[in-house]
């Protein structure tokens, strides 16, 4: 299983301009290939999620957009942008948190994704696994089921919080 850690909160200064440019370039390339558009609203939502580096709810994004532009966007416009970004595989939705998280990994849409969510600090690690992918595919074939979305959320303690608990 491969994993990448997404910290619960990261100052914007920690995010390099290059990382943001890379995420946006990836999104624009994907849109070009798919014949879709990265509209200004979609771009803004993706920028916010990428800059934050942590899961955010739609209304959190509305407040961040309002702080940046001075205007509160309609919730439906933010949800439409999120729907597009979800379908494109550029963001993920954490159902247990009703929050969204940018996905810089570029894995295929049909790959299963496992989110390891720390109950103490809120950090989220995203992981994929080829053996898990094979097992889920086999389960689908055996039952005649074609999965469209393969996201698992596992809560527990991250290494850092687990170490703090062991030291106490």
- The pLDDT tens digits for 134-167 are 898 899 999 999 887 788 899 999 999 988 876 7
Between β-strands 113-118 and 151-156, what pairing exists: parallel, antiparallel or unpaired? Answer: parallel
Report d(CA 145, CA 2) in Å as an integer.
Answer: 26
Q: What is the tens place of the pLDDT at every residue in 68-114?
A: 999 999 999 999 999 999 988 899 999 999 999 998 776 666 678 89
Q: Please spell the DSSP secondary structure of 28-95, one letter per residue.
A: HHHHHHHT----HHHHHHHHHHHHH-S-B-HHHHHHHHHHHHSS---HHHHHHHHHHHHHTTSEEEET
CB atoms within 10 A of CB 66: 12
Residue 8 scores a pLDDT above 60: no
Residues 153 and 96 sit within 8 Å (Cβ to Cβ): yes
Chain Cα centroid distance, residue 102: 4
What average pLDDT score do residues 57-63 get? Answer: 96
CB 47 within 8 A of CB 61: no
Report d(CA 147, CA 87) in Å as an integer. 14
Contact in structure between 150 and 110 (CB atoms under 8 Å): yes
Question: How high is the pLDDT of residue 79?
Answer: 97
Confidence check: pLDDT of 128 > 90: no
Asked if residues 126 and 152 have their Cβ atoms less than 8 Å apart, the reply is no
pTM for the predicted model, two decimal places: 0.79
């Amino acid at each position: 299983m491969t994993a990448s850690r997404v910290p619960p909160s990261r100052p914007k200064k920690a995010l390099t301009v290059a990382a943001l440019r890379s995420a946006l370039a990836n999104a624009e390339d994907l849109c070009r290939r798919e014949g879709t558009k990265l509209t200004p609203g979609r771009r803004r939502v993706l920028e916010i999620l990428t800059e934050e580096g942590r899961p955010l709810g739609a209304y959190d994004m509305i407040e961040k957009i309002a702080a940046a532009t001075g205007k509160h966007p309609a919730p439906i416009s933010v949800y439409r942008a999120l729907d597009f970004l979800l379908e494109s595989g550029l963001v993920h939705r954490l159902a247990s948190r009703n929050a969204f998280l940018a996905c810089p990994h570029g894995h295929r849409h049909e790959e299963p994704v496992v989110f390891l969510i720390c109950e103490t600090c809120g950090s989220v690690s995203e992981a994929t696994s080829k053996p898990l992918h094979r097992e889920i595919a086999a389960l689908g074939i055996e039952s005649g089921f074609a999965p469209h979305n393969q996201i698992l959320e596992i809560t527990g303690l991250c290494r850092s919080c687990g170490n703090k608990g062991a030291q106490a």
